[in-house]
Every structure is written in C-alpha cells, then in structure tokens.
Amino acid sequence: MSRFAAVIRRPVFILAIIFPVALIAEFVVLEGVHGISLPSDRGSAVSSYEIREKGTELHFITRNKRFSIVDLWSRHGSAVEALVLRESFVIDRQEGIEGDSSMLKVEALDGKAVKWGFEEAGERGQAIGQVYEVTKFGCCDAPNTYTYFSLRDGRKLRSTHTELNQYDFAALEQSLYD
C-alpha cells in the first residue's frame, strides 16, 4: 500500500478534509442548483426573471417575493397579534398568447415557523382587513376571479368573478368571528 493510500484511510484525514469538502459540495448543489436556502435566508426575499424557450415558444418567467406585516384583530377591535406574510408570485407569460400561467403562495410566519399557508392561481394578492384577496386576471373575455382567504388560519372563504362590495366584504369578515 502506498503512503498516500495510508493517509487517505486515516480518520483524521476523513474528518479534516473529505467531510468539509462533501458539506461544501452539498451546500453548492442545494443553494445553487435547487434554490433551497439555509433557515437564516428564509427571512429575505429575492426576485428574479428568466426568458426560456419551451419547444418553439418563448416564455417570460418572473418570480417575485415580498413580506407584509398585518395586524389581526379580535371581534371587539383590540389588536391580537402582528402577522408576517411571506408572499411568492410566479408568472409564466408566453409570447403571443393572451393570459398567463400564474401562482401565488402565501405563508404566515410565527418567528421562523410557518403557521399556515395556501397556494392559489393569481397575479395579484393583498391583505385587506382580516382577509387576503387573490386576483386572477381574466383571459380571452373571461372575467377576473377574486378569491378570499382568512388571515387567521389561511382557509379559503369565497371565490367570485366580481369584487365584493363593502357590505359583502363586511359580512365575509364577520363570518370569521362566528
């Protein structure tokens, strides 16, 4: 056995050289190729775009992320807690085609843990009062779709093709406390 082979087989060499190199390679693969980040990076938002050919079609893909802080209120109007929302928007627009393929993902964070989350097709989202509204723009003369979710637990409350008026919206919020 050569002197080099004897050195490679020693536990000290394995722990000092091979193990750190394997960890660095794993980090590069997860972070660089798959986009999986360390837990400390989950408190940051990164947006990106790409132009990709799929077959003979040209696609414009945008990925936008943001954080919003909303207040949850009790039935009697006193603030219960501040809620951090991590919102991710992915839009795939194809050249020469009306409409797009889009998805919105919202997660409520409690420190670093996710309390609840949902995914819904849509291009725009916003917290309004105690409700989160997702808007999916209509295509080819189809109307927009408005979907409403509870900010308390992320459950879907209602979907409609017209925006809610103030009375319908108040009734929807009231249903959260019943």
Question: Which residues, listed in sequence order, are joined to residue 14 by a DSSP beta bridge?
Answer: none
pLDDT in tens, 69-98: 998 887 666 767 888 999 999 999 888 777
pTM over 0.85: no
Give the tokens for residue 44. 């940051």
- Cα separation of 38 and 44, whole Å? 11
What 3-state class would DSSP assign to 40? Answer: helix
> Which of the 8 DSSP states describes residue 15?
I
- What is the C-alpha radius of gyration for the chain, rounded to an integer number of angstroms? 23
- Cα separation of 129 and 19, whole Å? 51
